[in-house]
Structure formats: structure tokens, C-alpha cells
Structure 1
Amino acid sequence: MAEKKPAVAFIGTGIMGAPIAGHIMDAGYPLTIFTRTRNERAEALIERGAVWADTPADAAREADIVFTMLGYPTDVEEVYLSSDGLLAAAKRGATLIDLTTSSPELARDIAEAAEVSGLYAFDCPVTGGERGAIDGTLTLIVGATERDIEPIRSLLETFGKHIFCFGGPGAGQTAKLSNQVALAGCLTGMADALSLAQQSGLDLARVRELIVSGTGRSGVMETLAPAALDGDYRPGFKVTHFLKDLGLALQLAEDREIVLPGAETAFGLYDVLDTIGGGEMGTQALTLMYQEEADAVAAGLDWSQYTMSEDSEGCGCGHDHEHAHEHGEGCCHGHDGSHDHEHGEGCCHGHDGSHDHEHEHGESCCHTHGEGHTHEHGEGCCHKHEGAEA
């Protein structure tokens, strides 16, 4: 007689959560689901046999194992720690696993509160994007030990190809944020490389093929560059969520009193992309920041939003950015008038008129500048400069 599998609850059946939940069902685990909006993804799981719950607490009440995959740390805190949250509702002895990329400190708080309630909770953010979730090949980054996860390893392996354990609560989140910092460099490297090749009149597909054959290769160049070259900006991982991850990484770096200039530059660029309407696009949409304004507009971006945000307090995109527009801000396209970019900001495209644009401390200015540019301290200025330069 086959051993009865533990009951599983899954909270958050979005772009990645739904296929992960599907793999769990395929392996024979009874599944109860909740997601904020009962959408097509949720309905598809219900049609396959999942049970719908009206609240996260209802989903978790009879579950042996509870997964969450949510958007932001505030969502995680509410779902776990509110008076009607998971820690209050889950049955004694249950295991709670958060797949969200969230705050290391919050992960530690949840683990401690769970222990007091007779529960076991650990952080387990994932990487691999929508494709990895669909294929069941995600990498799991665990804030626990190998011994801790042994009882549920077979369940984790239903959707994860690689499992890395980092020993204790919050450590999985810290390791995931390190991964996102590396990803930021790959994304900006992809966008820079394709822009340089394009402005030099090269065959972009051929250049990409060259890069992935050598030491410049990356998962981003292999999987996201083809979509960017095809003008496909649908999200496997949304810009707004990547901004959240980078913000968490930069906050952690600030707490550790270290500087991450590459991550800061990427944060600035993606912050601008979010401001001009790219928040729901995939991260490969960074390449739009280097294109002609008409191409960006055709893809759904609105550069006037950036101008409006400059004229008001904050970035204008609705996010509470603690690192907004400092030390690595990105300003990429179509700005007129007199801008002063300092401390490594990138300014990539389409400046018109007679700028007295002074780039300091290594800033790069990449495309189509008018007259009167002064570059200082080794700045790079890459394309189509006219008039007097000093």
C-alpha cells in the first residue's frame, strides 16, 4: 500500500507559484491553494484537483506543509504574522516554507515566532525564473541545514533541480540577494554589450552567439538576450520585483557598511525603467533604455513620466525607494536641458541641444550627445559626439 503523502498548502499561485504548485500535484501530494485573485492560473490548478481556500489561514489549517510565494516583504509579514495569519492558523508540527525573495531579518523573525508556536519555518527563495518553474528545474536557496530539510527533500525536488543549504534562518535570503547582485551585473552587461554592437553596425544575433561561446557568457545572455532581440518583453521575472530584490540587497549592504556600485547602477537604471512604465515588463526590457525613443514608445514606455518625476519629490513611480537616485542613478534617454550626473550615474541616449554636461568620477555617457560636453576623470563617452570636447 502506497504511503500517504502529507497535505500541502500553497499560498500565491502567480507566474512562478502556479507551475511549482502543479509539480507538487503531479507528484501526488494533496494540495490546497489560495491566491489573492482567483485567476486563470488558480482555476487551472483547481480543475486538476487542487482545493480552493478563501483565506491563507483556511488553506494552512489542515496542511502538514505550507508554501508561500508572495510579492514583497510586507506581504510576507502580513500573511505570516498577522492575527489571522499562518502562524496563528497552522496546526502544531507543520512546516512553513517561504519561497519569496524577502528580508533576511524578517525570515529570522518568522522562524523564531514559528518555534514559539510549535511550528518549523524556514526561508527558501528560488532562482531560475518562470522557465525554471515550468520545467521544474529551479535552484532552491535554503535558510536551513541539510539535516533540517531531509524529511521534505523529496517534496522540494518536485520543482527544484539544485538545493543549496546555508544553515540557518535568513541565510537563504542573504544568499539569494547575493545572486541578485550578480544577476544585476549580467543584465547591465547584456544591455551595454548589445547597445555597443548595435551602434557599431554589427549583427546582434551573431554578437550574442560570440559572447555565449566565450568567457563573457551568462544565463542572461543565453536566455534573455534572444527575447530582447525579438522585441519580446513579456515577464519571466518582472522589473518591479527585481527592483524590490536590489533594494533589499542595497539595504543589507548599507547595514554591513559596504558599497555595491554595480548593484547601485542597476538599481538606478531599473528605477527609471519602472518610472516610465516598464515595471510589469521582464527584466530584459532594460535594453529598451538604449533604443530610439520611438522604439521605447512602441513598447509601451513613456519618457515624459521621468521628466515629471524629476520635477516632483521622489521618483514618481509609487515606490518608497530608500536608495532613490543616489550613487549610481541611471538616466538613459531623451532628456533635454542641463543635467548634472554625479557619482557614477549612467546616461545612455538621446541628449539634445547644447549641454554643459559634466560627467564626474567615471560616469559613462553612451549615445547621441550634442555640443559642449565636458568629460572629466576618465569618463567614457561612446557614440556620436559632435562639436567641441575637452
Structure 2
Amino acid sequence: MVATSFIGLGVMGFPMAGHLAAKGHDVTVYNRSASKAQSWMGKHGGRAAPTPREAAEGADIVFVCVGNDDDVRSVIYGDDGAMAGMKEGAILVDHTTASAELARELEETLAAKRLRFLDAPVSGGQAGAENGVLTVMAGGDAQTFADARPAIESYARMIGLMGPAGSGQLTKMMNQICIAGLVQGLSEAVHFGQKAGLDIAKVVEVISKGAAGSWQMENRHKTMDEGRYDFGFAVEWMRKDLGICLAEARRNGASLPGTALIDQFYAEVEAMGGRRWDTSSLLARLNR
């Protein structure tokens, strides 16, 4: 087992770090609010550090799972940042959903310090993190990926190396583009079915077994039909992710008209008070 540190104990990082500890890895954690780190230790053991630098000292692999590009920079750079504490040859694995531009920046900066890097955003949500069945999309060097993979497998059921640094983030962007389109289509279908007086559960039981089936349909149709959205992947997080997708599309010339439109639909949901609602709340704007 390897010495690890985990920086960022949010709804994803808390259980992910817990799986590392459960698999026997030596884990030191850091969280901006120290009480969360103390809570994690109370449940999983290990150690907590007062700064990212101290958390990273002596670690073979440093995992980061925070909010956005600026949050990543705040815990990696500077006198108290993780990079200042990492030993030569150590690996930094960034699980944050961030920009591909940041991933390339980090690889170059860390390489100059003889440190290694993977951008490795995840999919599967809070439930996937808690159950240890996340999908991990990685970008970086093949040997670095091979060295980090056994630890990542502590909380993942699918791990893929997608290409050089930034490729993991680009793959996650494709993932979010697909989800946005699926949820919008499902919202319109449920809205249509409700207006037509159909039994949504009966309809989904049939059509989910055909070409229209999806994870979103199987796992969200019931709560959507009931108008419940107080759980899951928050609208504000999806808007952050779609903003990254749209910014990258402006850089690479891709045309994302549907994604841009759905992002505006999510803006309407936010205006309805749904910033923290699950992404399936696209239906709520149709049923106003």
C-alpha cells in the first residue's frame, strides 16, 4: 500500500478518501474547514493536516477533489500548497472537474519540479463515490497512470487513460454534454406524458428497455414525475461544468448549440430557486 493524501473532503472527496483508507492505504487528509477533516478521521482514522503542503509531505500520491480551477490552484500553488510539500517523483491526481487548460498548466509546472500529474475527473455522483463505483477519465503519461491506478481502483469500477494531460477533462466535458441532452430529452418526454395523462412509471417500464433507455431514465423518472429535486447533482454544479464545455468549444471551434440552450434552461431553473436542485429539475421549468 502507498502513502497518500487527499485534499478536499466534499460530498465526493469524503467517501473517496474513505475507500482509500478502507483498502489499507495510509491517508492524510486536508479540508478547508478543519471540522470536516476531524469528522473524516473520526470515521476512517488516518491523519489530518493543517495545510495542503503538510498533507502532501511524504505522500506517494496526492489526490485533489475541490470545486473549480481557482480552487485547484489555491491548494496546489504557494508556500502552503501541495506542490511545496511533494517529494520528487510523487504523483498529483486531480479529480476536480476543471478545464483542460488547467490540466496542461499543472503538468508543465509539476514536471519542472520533477513531479508527476494526472487530470482524472470522475462520473457517478455522490452515490458512485459512496459505493466505490466511480468512472475515472484520466489524462497524462502512461507510466504515471499505471502507478496511480491501483490506488484509484479503491473507489472506481471503470478507469481509462484517454490521452495526454487534459484528455481526462475533455472526456468529462463530453460526458456532461451527453447528460445535459439526455436530461432535457427526458424532461420533455415526461412533461409530454403527464400532459397526455399517461402513467409515467408504466411508460418508462416499457421504453427504458428499448433504444430510449438511459441511466437518467432508470434513476430519475420516478422523482421527476413526483416533482422531487432536493438531492443529487446540483444545477449550479452542472452550470459550472457546462460553462467549461462551452469555453473549450470556443477555443477548439466545436459547435454546441444544444448545450448552450440547455445551459440557459438551467439558468431559468436557478432563477426559480433551484441552484441546489438535482439536474433532473429541467422538468420543473416546463411544469411552471
Partner of 1:229: 225
Task: Tell me the amino acid that sits aligned with residue 126 of structure 1.
Answer: V
Q: How does 1:143-162 map to 2 (within 5 A)?
A: 143-162=139-158
- TM-superposed CA distance for 1:235, in Å, is 3.2
Partner of 1:55: 51
CA RMSD of aligned residues (A): 1.7
SS of structure 1 residue aligned to 2:137 = strand
1:194 aligns with 2:190: yes
1:78 aligns with 2:71: no
How far apart, CA to CA, are the structure 2 residues paired with 1:273 and 1:45?
37
Label 1:188 to 1:42 Cα distance change in 2 as closer, same or farther (>3 A): farther
SS of structure 2 residue aligned to 1:184 = helix
Q: Using CA pairs below 8 Å that are at least 6 residues apart, which structure has the higher relative contact order?
A: 2
1:10 aligns with 2:6: yes
- TM-superposed CA distance for 1:42, in Å, is 5.4
Partner of 1:278: 274
Moved more, 84-93 or 215-224: 84-93
How far apart, CA to CA, are the structure 1 residues paired with 2:158 and 2:40?
27
Richer in helix (by share): 2
State the percentage of identical aligned residues. Answer: 35
8 A contact 1:81–1:110 mirrored in 2: no
- TM-superposed CA distance for 1:274, in Å, is 1.9
8 A contact 1:132–1:138 mirrored in 2: yes
Out of 252, 258, 262, the position equivalent to 2:248 is: 252
SS of structure 2 residue aligned to 1:8 = strand
Q: State the Cα deviation string for residues 109-152 of structure 1 (Å, max 9, x = none).
A: 00110011111111000111111111111111000254332122
Out of 168, 171, 177, the position equivalent to 1:175 is: 171
Structure exhibiting the larger radius of gyration computed from Cα positions: 1
8 A contact 1:35–1:42 mirrored in 2: no
Partner of 1:134: 130
How far apart, CA to CA, are the structure 1 residues paired with 2:39 and 2:95?
21
Partner of 2:118: 122
TM-score normalised to structure 1 length:
0.71
Number of aligned residues: 288
**Structure 2: tracts of 5 or more residues without a match:** none
8 A contact 2:141–2:165 mirrored in 1: no
SS of structure 2 residue aligned to 1:47 = helix
Label 1:21 to 1:164 Cα distance change in 2 as closer, same or farther (>3 A): same
How far apart, CA to CA, are the structure 2 residues paired with 1:266 and 1:111?
32
How far apart, CA to CA, are the structure 1 residues paired with 2:281 and 2:162?
32
1:28 aligns with 2:28: no
How far apart, CA to CA, are the structure 1 residues paired with 2:236 and 2:219?
20
How far apart, CA to CA, are the structure 2 residues paired with 1:243 and 1:182?
14
Partner of 1:163: 159
How far apart, CA to CA, are the structure 2 residues paired with 1:41 and 1:225?
36
Q: State the Cα deviation string for residues 347-379 of structure 1 (Å, max 9, x = none).
A: xxxxxxxxxxxxxxxxxxxxxxxxxxxxxxxxx
Task: Tell me the amino acid that sits aligned with residue 100 of structure 1.
Answer: T
SS of structure 1 residue aligned to 2:136 = strand
- TM-superposed CA distance for 1:93, in Å, is 1.8
Partner of 2:237: 241
How far apart, CA to CA, are the structure 1 residues paired with 2:124 and 2:259?
19
Q: State the Cα deviation string for residues 148-172 of structure 1 (Å, max 9, x = none).
A: 3212221111111111111211111
